[in-house]
Chains A and B, each alone.
Chain A
Amino acid sequence: MAVETKTDKLMWPIEAIQPVKDGDTVVLGGFGPLGYPAQLVKALYLFSDAKDLHIALNAPNGMYLPTLDRLIAERASHLTTTFVRTSRAATKFFKEGKLTLTPQGTFAERLRAAGAGIPGFYTPVGIGTMVAKGKEVKEFNGRQYLLEEALNADVGFMQATKVDYDGNCYIEGAMKSFGALVPAASKYTVVEAEEIVPVGDIPSELITVSGIYIDGIVKVGMRHDQ
Chain B
Amino acid sequence: MISRTYIAKRVADELEDGQIVNLGIGIPTLVPKFISDDKHIIFQSENGIINIGPAPKPGEPENPNIFDAGGSPATIKPGGQFIDSAKAFGLIRSGKVDVTVLGAVQVDAQGNIANWIIPNKMLVGFGGAMDLVTCAKEVIVAMEHTAKGQIKILDECTFPLTGAHCVSKIITELAVFHITDHGMVLTEISPKTTLDEVRAKTGAHFTVADNLKVSQIADEAVEV
Residues of A within 8 A of B (CB): 31-34, 58-59, 81-85, 90-91, 94, 101-109, 111-112, 123-131, 161, 172-181, 208, 223
Contacts and interface: CB of A to CB of B under 8 A. Distances in A.
A104 B71 contact: no
Q: Which 6 A-B pairs have the closest CB atoms?
A: A105-B89, A128-B164, A173-B65, A105-B131, A83-B125, A108-B85
Contact of B67 (A34, A81, A161, A179): A34
Nearest to A180: B84
B177 to A, nearest CB: 21
A contacts with B: majority SS: mixed
A77 to B, nearest CB: 19
A84 B130 contact: no
B127 interface: yes
Contact of B122 (A85, A126, A208): A85
Contact of B84 (A34, A91, A103, A181): A181
B123 interface: yes
Contacts of B47: 31, 174, 177
Given A103-B126, A174-B45, A179-B84, 16 more contacts: A58-B85, A59-B127, A82-B125, A83-B124, A101-B126, A103-B131, A104-B46, A104-B131, A105-B46, A108-B86, A109-B90, A129-B163, A174-B65, A176-B83, A177-B47, A223-B64
A125 B76 CA distance: 28
B69 to A, nearest CB: 8
A173 B74 CA distance: 11
A124 B93 contact: yes
B77 to A, nearest CB: 13
Given A81-B125, A174-B67, A176-B48, A181 B86 contact: yes
B160 interface: yes
Interface string B81-114: 0111110111011000000000000000000000
B12 interface: no
Nearest to A179: B84
B89 A104 contact: yes
A48 to B, nearest CB: 27
